[in-house]
Amino acid sequence: MMDRASPENRVCVRIRDESDVGVARRRSRELAAQQGLSEAAAEALATAVTEIARNIVVHAGSGEIVFGAVADATRQGVIVTARDTGSGIPDIEQAMQDGFSTCSGLGFGLPGARRLVDEFEIESNVGTGTTVTLRKWA
Amino acid sequence: MSERLDKFGREYIAALEAYLKAVDESALSRAYELGRRAMIEGLGVLDMALLHRTALEDLVLSAPATEQRRFAQAAANFFNELLSSFEMSFRGYRGANEELQRLNETLRQQKETVESANRELESFSYSVSHDLRAPLRTIDGYSQMLLEDCADALGDEGKRYLRHVREATQYMTQLIDALLSLARVTRGEIHRIEVDLTALARGISERLRSVSPGRDSHFIINEGVRANGDARLLAVLLENLLGNAWKFTSKRTQAQITFGCEERDGKPTYFVQDNGAGFDMAFAAKLFGPFQRLHSLNEFEGTGIGLATVQRVVHRHGGQLWAEGKIDEGATFFFTLGGQNP
C-alpha cells in the first residue's frame, strides 16, 4: 500500500528564528503522541526536528516545516518535511558527513538528525534551497 | 565542582525553574540547547547527572508537597531533553566507530595483500640474483682461460675485447651481490641487542685502509658509540656509509672521515662525515633510491644500491636517514634507529 498522508493532519510551522524551533518541537510531539510513537521515539524525533530547524535558522535564515501523519499497511508514523529557500548545499555528501559542521565531530546537525529517524531524504539545489524529509514510525 | 560546571549548573537550575513555572516547549528547548552546549564544551553525561541532582535538591525537594509530584515529572522531562543531544552524539560515535572498524578491516586486508606481494617479489629477486651468479662465473672463468691459454691466437685486439668482457661480468657480479645484500637486509627478523658501533666502525676503517695502504687518510671514530639494533644489519649499514665515505674521498690528498653520535631533538643521531666529493643538495632526494647514482662510473665506481640498502636498514629499525652535502665540500649522512620496539 502507498504512503497516505491525510491532509487534515498536516501542520505547517514557519521557521524564522530560535523561538519557532520550540513551536516546531511542540507540533512534532503532538503528532508523535497522536500517531502512537513511544516516548523515546517521540523524543528522538523532536531532537531531529530541533536540529533541522536550527539548520534552517542558522544556514538559510528562514523556511517552513510541515508535519503530517503517515501510514502504510502495517504501521503508522510521522512525516516531517522541512523546506528552505536558502542558498542550498553545494555538496550534500560532504554536508552529511560528521566533522563538516561547526560543531565538528560531535554528530550534531544533519548527520545527527539522520541517525535519530527511520527514514531520511535530502534534496538540495544551489540557489533554490534545501528540502529534508524525515519519517519516524511507531 | 569546576568553575565551568558551576556556571553551567546555575544556568541549568534557572532554566529548570522557568520550565517548572511554565511547562511549555520553548522552556523545554532551553534544556536541549544547554545539553548541546555542554557537549561542545566537553562536559559528560555524569556531569549532567550531577547537575540535575543538585537542581532537584534545590527546586523539587523544597517545593510544597502538593507540587512535588508534578515538579518531579516535569524535571524528568527536562532532564530527558538535556540528554537528547548526548544521545544524538552517541549514535554518531557508534556509527563512526562501526565505519572505522570496517575501514580498519579493509586496511588490514590491503596490508596483508601488499605484504604477501612484497614477500613474493623479494624471494623472486633473491632467487633470480642468486641464479644469475652461476652463468656469470662461467663467462668470467672461460674469458680468463681464453686470455691465459689462447693469448697467442687472440692477438692484442682480441685480448682487449676479452678484458672488457671480464670487467663487465665482474661489475655485473658486484651489482648482483649488492642486490642480494639489499634483499637480505629486507628479509629475516630483526634482533635488537646492544651493539658497539665504535668497535664496528674501527674494524671497517682498518679493513678499508688495508685495501689501499698508500692513501693518506684520517679516521676520527668517537669513543663509546653504542646503539640498540640488529648487529648484522648495523654492520651492513656502517660498511656502506664508511665505504662510501672512503670511496668519495679517494681524490683528496688527505681524506678525513668522522663517525660519531650526537643528540638531536632528544634522539641519539649517528653520523658519518667526510671531506670528499660531496653532492648537490638539489638531488638529495635521489640519493637513497636503488640504482640512483649522482656520479658517473668513470668518476667513482659503484652499484647505486649501497644507500638504498642503508635506508632499508634504518627503516627496518624505525629510524630516519638523511644527508647534507655540498659539491666538493664533503657529505654528512645522519641516521636514527627508532625506539626499542619499533
Q: For residue range B133-177, list pLDDT tens digits in order.
A: 889 999 999 999 999 999 888 889 999 999 999 999 998 898 888
Instruction: Inspect the interface and report whether the beta carbons of B88 and A116 lie closer than 8 Å.
Output: yes
Task: Give the residue from chain B lying closest to A45, CA to CA.
Answer: B84
Q: Kindly state whether residues B132 and B59 are assigned to the same domain.
A: no
Chain B: closest CA distance from residue A4 (Å): 28
End residue of a domain, out of B186, B210, B233: B186
A56-61: list long-range contacts, CB under 8 Å, 24+ apart. A56/A15, A56/A82, A56/A84, A56/A86, A57/A15, A57/A16, A57/A17, A57/A18, A57/A20, A57/A21, A59/A84, A59/A86, A60/A84, A60/A85, A60/A86, A60/A87, A60/A129, A60/A130, A61/A16, A61/A86
Evaluated on CA atoms B199, B204, B210, B213, the torsion sign reads negative
Domain containing B317 — which CATH number? 3.30.565.10
Interface test with A, best of B26, B88, B97, B99 (most A CBs within 10 A): B88
Residue B341: pLDDT over 50: no
Q: Does the CB of A90 have a partner CB in chain B at under 8 Å?
A: no
Between B144 and A8, where is the model more confident? B144
Q: What is the pLDDT of residue A90?
A: 81
Name which of B32, B80, B93 is nearest A107 (Cβ-Cβ): B93
Q: For residue range B265-324, list pLDDT tens digits in order.
A: 889 999 999 999 999 998 888 888 877 777 776 777 777 888 999 999 999 999 999 999
Please state, in angstroms and as integers, the Cα–Cα distance from residue A32 to each residue in A35, A40, B127, B293, B337, following that order. Answer: 5, 10, 72, 75, 64
Q: What is the pLDDT of residue B331?
A: 94
Instruction: Inspect the interface and report whether the beta carbons of A116 and B96 lie closer than 8 Å.
Output: no
Query: SS3 breakdown of chain B: % helix, strand, coil, rounded to 5?
Result: 65, 15, 25
Task: Give the residue from chain A lying closest to B39, CA to CA.
Answer: A106
Type of residue numbered B199: A
Least confident of A5-14, A44-53, B161-170, B180-189: A5-14
Cα separation of B193 and B286, whole Å? 31
Assigned C-alpha cell, B90: 552517541
Q: Does the CB of A43 have a partner CB in chain B at under 8 Å?
A: yes
Q: Does the predicted model carry a pTM greater than 0.80?
A: no
With cut-offs at 50, 70 and 90, classify the pLDDT of residue A110. Answer: confident
Please state, in angstroms and as integers, the Cα–Cα distance from residue B111 to each residue in B51, B54, B117, B316, following that order. Answer: 48, 52, 10, 17
Q: Kindly state whether residues B210 and B306 are assigned to the same domain.
A: yes
| Number of neighbouring beta carbons within 10 Å of residue A15 | 25
Instruction: Inspect the interface and report whether the beta carbons of A115 and B32 lie closer than 8 Å.
Output: no
| Length of chain A, in residues | 138
Residue A82: pLDDT over 70: yes
With cut-offs at 50, 70 and 90, classify the pLDDT of residue B24. Answer: confident
Strand partners, A129: A125
What does the mean pLDDT of chain A come to? 86
Q: Does the CB of A11 have a partner CB in chain B at under 8 Å?
A: no
CATH (residue range A7-137): 3.30.565.10
Q: Kindly state whether residues B233 and B308 are assigned to the same domain.
A: yes
Cα separation of A43 and B84, whole Å? 7
Angle at which helices B25-40 and B3-21 cross, to 10°: 170
**Structural domain tally of chain B?**
3
Q: Does the CB of A26 have a partner CB in chain B at under 8 Å?
A: yes
Contact B289, B308 (CB under 8 A): yes
Phi-psi region of B322 (alpha: psi -120 to 50; beta: other; left: phi over 0): beta
Task: Give the residue from chain A lying closest to B32, CA to CA.
Answer: A47
Q: Kindly state whether residues B199 and B284 are assigned to the same domain.
A: yes
Q: Which domain holds residue B15?
A: 3-97
Residue ranges per domain, chain A? 7-137
Q: What is the pLDDT of residue B342?
A: 37
Instruction: Inspect the interface and report whether the beta carbons of A106 and B89 lie closer than 8 Å.
Output: yes
Residues of B in contact with A23 (CB under 8 A): 25-26
Q: Kindly state whether residues B215 and B273 are assigned to the same domain.
A: yes
Task: Give the residue from chain B lying closest to A98, CA to CA.
Answer: B92
Interface of B with A (CB under 8 A): 24-26, 28-29, 32, 36, 39-40, 80-81, 84-85, 87-93, 95-96
| Length of chain B, in residues | 342
Please state, in angstroms and as integers, the Cα–Cα distance from residue A29 to each residue in A34, A38, A46, A80, following that order. Answer: 9, 10, 6, 12
ipTM of the complex: 0.73
Strands B255-264 and B217-221: parallel
Task: Give the residue from chain A lying closest to B96, CA to CA.
Answer: A98
Assigned C-alpha cell, B47: 556531569
Contact A29, A50 (CB under 8 A): no
Number of residue pairs across A and B with CB atoms under 8 Å? 67
Q: What is the pLDDT of residue B333?
A: 96
Q: Does the CB of A49 have a partner CB in chain B at under 8 Å?
A: no
Q: Kindly state whether residues B265 and B311 are assigned to the same domain.
A: yes
Q: What is the pLDDT of residue B41?
A: 87
